[in-house]
Amino acid sequence: MAALPKCPECSSAFTYEDGNNYVCPECAHEWSKDAHAPSGEQQRVYKDAFGNMLADGDSITVIKDLKIKGSSSVVKVGTKVKNIRLVEGDHDIDCKIDGIGAMQLKTEFVKKA
């Protein structure tokens, strides 16, 4: 039996075949078998603390008070951040917060607004 491809949306290994499509039972994403071309480079999926997909340009809300290293400032719960940019690394989000400035955040401390 040939190995089925991982889901391009959530990277789940539990995909199955349904006619001429692949289906992911975890995120319900469906894609055509023809669209699947094995490549060495896979695109990373970014999700907020509640499992919602994030994309460049989204608005987010901070769900936990975040102390800023090297400063006495704090990013408060409920702070809205507009026009985020997703990047590779430990901190997944580049953004600019009003009153604080440029900052990097982790996706586990935000929710999609």
E strands, 11-81, are 16-18, 21-23, 30-32, 60-62, 66-67, 74-75, 80-81
Q: 91 falls in which pLDDT band (50, 70, 90)?
A: very high
pLDDT at 44: 83
> Cα separation of 29 and 56, whole Å?
20
pLDDT at 29: 85
Is 108 a residue whose pLDDT tops 90?
yes
> Cα separation of 77 and 23, whole Å?
37
Residue 107's φ and ψ, nearest 5 degrees, are: -65, -25
Is 4 a residue whose pLDDT tops 90?
no
Is 97 a residue whose pLDDT tops 60?
yes
Q: What is the pLDDT of residues 16-68, one digit of tens each?
A: 888 888 888 888 888 887 765 555 456 788 999 999 999 999 999 999 999 99
The predicted model gives 88-102 an average pLDDT of 92
Reference 97, options 81, 78, 86, 112; nearest CA is 81
pLDDT at 42: 64
